[in-house]
Amino acid sequence: MATTARPSSAPARLGERELIWLMALLMALQAFGIDAILPALDELALDLGVPGNERQFIIGVYLLTAGIGALVPGALADRFGRRPVLLGSIGIYIVLSLASALAPTYDVLVAIRAAQGFFAAGIVALPPAIIRDKVGGDRMARMMSLIFVIFMLVPAIAPSIGELILLVADWRTVFLAMAVQGMLMGTWAWLRLPETLAPEHRQPIHVRTIARNMGRALSMPSVVGYVFGSSLVFGALFGFINSSQQLITETFGAGDIFPIVFGICAGAMAIASWSNSRIVERFGARRVSHTALFAFIAVSSVQVVVAFQSEQSLWVFVPLMAVNMALLGFIGSNFGSIAMNPFFAIAGAASSVHGFVRMTVAAVLGAAIGYAYDGTAQPLALSLLASGLVCLALVLFSEKGRLFGPPEPEMGFGQDAAKAFD
């Protein structure tokens, strides 16, 4: 039987556990590039003369261009394969991390970060396509949940790592640390990741074909609510990330424990993602995520009430924010898996266009929420509630008013794909 040639440095088989760790830590490169710099924003702003809320642009522009850039790698990966496009994205991430460390002015730094978000978008856009090449349905939701467990551990500890770096060096060293991480992950992917795209599923590079595939992946009524709905709730989360340093430091006067507070919130999301991986195949992605969405709306309502009290307490804000971030752990990977399940043959295009919508909408919304920071938690609380309510309306549209559906079968996944696993 004929076999497809593979690079000698990339083994033909990759265990499921190693695949999960590899995909999670690749995606975590982006998370580290965002969250590790948060404790350094004050020092960076002082060093480069950045006024007020404008320091947040270094986060917001990266998220926005990463969303726009997500349109590119999926189409390339559907034609040339996942492996070369992913390795190219990692290489660009490394080079532009080094360039960020050398930026002479804030405007130059923002421009480099914008380029890094765009050209390295494959490190986040391609892992879902690689997973979809292998599995689908609620099994994909389980694997994506495990990926999010590991992925979310990075935001939980990244501010602490950034804080430790600042004890011995300046903010530029954080970007050097990003480059080192990129080199380590690039080496791992080069040595261990095989090509997962089957030859018969390669798509031609024609604008019409790409547009048709992306249009299919975004226009299906049963999918569109999940893509745009998750964009909104994660936009509110990005709003928290953008404003978290100022919120914790200025509003609650707890700047000395900022990494701990941020770690508690991100850690709650990681724990929820692990819990989701244990239950999603039993109860189904729809039942779990729909229940979590209703709980998200309820907790956000409480956050609004608390935010408008005359006395704001950190120790009331943190548990509520941690619970809502935990609920996002039950929403994000499940929504993404439901949206990807119909698109086995065009997983790259689907992953790209879904990532584009999620990241751009979430980045714009998150930047707006962050820039609306007024010294209170009110803009964030109102945004969380509004995003949850609109998300529910969108899901109702996709489900034709019927929620809590049964477990979802794997579509387009057969024995040939299973051979990639040990």
Helix axes 258-283, 221-246, angle to 10 degrees: 160
When computed from its CA atoms, the radius of gyration of the chain, rounded to whole angstroms, is 21
| 412 inside domain | no
pLDDT per residue, tens digit, the chain (422 aa), is 444 444 444 455 678 889 889 998 998 898 888 888 888 888 898 899 887 778 778 888 898 898 888 888 877 888 888 899 999 999 999 999 999 999 999 999 999 999 999 998 899 888 888 887 887 767 777 887 788 777 777 777 888 898 899 999 999 999 999 999 999 999 999 999 988 888 877 877 777 877 888 888 888 898 999 999 999 988 988 889 888 888 888 888 888 888 888 888 888 888 888 888 888 888 888 999 999 999 999 999 999 999 998 787 888 999 999 999 999 989 988 898 888 888 877 777 787 788 888 888 988 898 889 888 888 999 999 999 999 999 999 999 999 999 988 766 555 544 333 343 33
238 in a domain, yes or no?
Answer: yes
Query: Cα separations (Å) of 10 from 43, 88, 178, 209, 247?
Result: 42, 15, 24, 30, 46
Q: Quote the CA–CA distance of 338 and 348 in Å, as a whole number.
A: 15
**Comparing C-alpha atoms, which of 189, 241, 187, 321 is closest to residue 36?**
241
Query: The domain that contains 210 carries what CATH number?
Result: 1.20.1250.20
Query: Is residue 420 assigned to a domain?
Result: no
Number of domains in the chain: 1
Distance between CA atoms of residues 87 and 22, nearest Å: 13
Whether 133 maps to a domain, the answer reads yes
Is 261 part of a structural domain of the chain?
yes
Angle 367-74-13 (CA atoms, 0-180°, nearest 5)?
120
| Residue 190 confidence (pLDDT) | 94
pLDDT reported for residue 212? 85
Which string of b and e fits 164-192 if b means at least 16 CB within 10 Å? ebbeeeebbebbbbbbebbeebbebbeee
| Domain region containing 314 | 16-402
**Is residue 181 domain-resident?**
yes
The confidence score (pLDDT) of residue 411 equals 55
Q: What is the pTM of this model?
A: 0.71
Cβ neighbours of 323 (radius 10 Å)? 20
pLDDT (0 to 100) of residue 9: 45
Q: Under a CB-based contact definition with an 8 Å cutoff, are residues 171 and 47 in contact? A: yes
Supply the pLDDT for residue 13. 67
Torsion of Cα atoms, 283 then 289 then 295 then 299, to 10°: 140
Instruction: Report how far residue 31's alpha carbon sits from residue 154's, in angstroms, rounded to the nearest whole number.
Output: 7
Query: Of 360, 382, 113, which Cα lies nearest the Cα of 234?
Result: 360
The single residue listed with the structure tokens 């790409």 is 210
Answer yes or no: is 285 within a domain: yes
Residue 357 lies in a domain: yes
